A and B are shown apart, each in its own frame.
Chain A
Amino acid sequence: MTTPRVQPTDADIEAIVADAIAREAACAGSEAQPPSSAIVWWRAQMRARQEATRLAEKPITIVHALSIAAGVGLMLSVIGYVVAGMKGSWGWLSKIAETATSAFPSVPTLSLTSPWVAVTLTAMLVSALIGSIAAFVILSDE
């Protein structure tokens, strides 16, 4: 004859679970080795200062970027103005090209008055300017 199995009541279950977790909590409490409050406070101070510095420096970075953009815009307008002024004097460039072609017939003819050549030369000039400004900003930051 088998004895009927008694189902634990909710109260029994709660008591067992509560006891198991309370014992585990006691175990966790003895395992815990948190750093001292002074260290945690000091680290928090350091981190908050670093974040404050980063936030304060953000507008400076924006100002730098705006300055560079304004400088590049100015340079482009100057280059445009100079190119427009030189448009009437492309003749001497054509002469140089003709001389070079006659002196070295094997060299392919390069039309210096072509708008593509002008665009390429302008792009190279602008790249050099931007590069030098960027180098200046990086070096001045360092």
Chain B
Amino acid sequence: MTTYLDVRRLHGDALEAETADVALAMDEDAFRAFYDRTSRALWGYLSRTSGDRQVADDLLQECYYRLLKSTVPFESEAHRRNYLYRIATNLVRDTRRGTRPLFAEGVEVADLEAPQAHADAAERADVRRAMGRLKPRERALLWLAYAQGSSHSEIADVLGLKTGSIKLLLFRARRKLAALLAPQVNS
């Protein structure tokens, strides 16, 4: 039977939890170093797979929080990073929105002074539009392979796929993007 003293003890535990440091998967120094190494690239992954910078801003903190709360014993930095990207992939999948402004908008050229600036901006806008027409999984595959330089097994780990299927999926995604970038490919 629960006594008055038990209730007081539980109240005490609650107050203690409010004031004491809570146990997270990493200590502060290790986390901050890891964050500084990975946050920009992760933001890029979030923004380009979701197609929305606002979503990337919103999900970035959530990704690191979930990583900190995880109880997975990480064997290496790469393992931890892959786990972080898997969290990001799942969050993006859960946050599907109708509009993807990043893929619809052009690229600003105001700050670019090089003569090639306008051509580059137009090319980049084409790439974004083409990426916007890919499936989210295809975008993630290509981004992990060519922006992150991840291996097939790492990509499989992040996306929850079989390693053996990555080669074929990448091949198809490449073909699809190339077809969408047809003028560039032909030239």
A residues at B contact (CB < 8 Å): 5, 8, 10, 12-14, 16-18, 20-25, 27-29, 31-32, 34-35, 37-38, 40-41, 43-45, 47-49, 52-53, 55-57, 59-60, 63, 66
Contact = CB atoms under 8 A, between A and B. Distances in A.
Contacts of A34: 35, 39-40, 42-43, 60
In this complex, the interface size class of chain B, counting residues with CB under 8 Å from chain A, is 35 or more
5 contacts: A16-B181, A16-B184, A40-B39, A56-B10, A56-B17
B35 A45 contact: no
Contacts of B43: 28, 32, 34
B7 A63 contact: yes
B147 A32 contact: no
A21 B142 contact: yes
B89 to A, nearest CB: 16
Contacts of B68: 44, 48
Describe A's contact surface by its main secondary structure.
Answer: helix
A18 B127 CA distance: 11
Nearest to B31: A41
A44 B174 contact: no
Contacts of A52: 17-18, 22
Given A37-B35, A56-B17, A25 B44 contact: yes
A43 B143 contact: no
B53 interface: yes
B131 interface: yes
Interface in B87-127: 107, 124, 127
B177 A20 contact: yes
Contacts of A59: 10
B32 A22 contact: no
B13 A56 contact: yes
A41 B32 contact: yes
A32 B40 CA distance: 6
Among the interface residues A17, A23, A27, A60, which one has the most CB atoms of the partner chain B within 10 A? A17
**Interface centre among A28, A59, A60, by most B CB within 10 Å?**
A28
B143 to A, nearest CB: 6
Contact of A37 (B31, B41, B177): B31
Interface in B120-178: 124, 127-128, 131, 142-143, 146-147, 171, 174-175, 177-178
Contact of B48 (A8, A28, A53): A28
A24 B35 contact: no
Contacts of A48: 22, 24, 65, 68-69
Given A27-B124, A52-B17, A60 B7 contact: yes
Interface string B10-53: 11011011100110100010011001100111111001100001
A40 B33 CA distance: 12
Contact of B143 (A21, A23, A40, A53): A21
A53 B21 CA distance: 12
A53 B17 contact: yes
A60 B17 contact: no
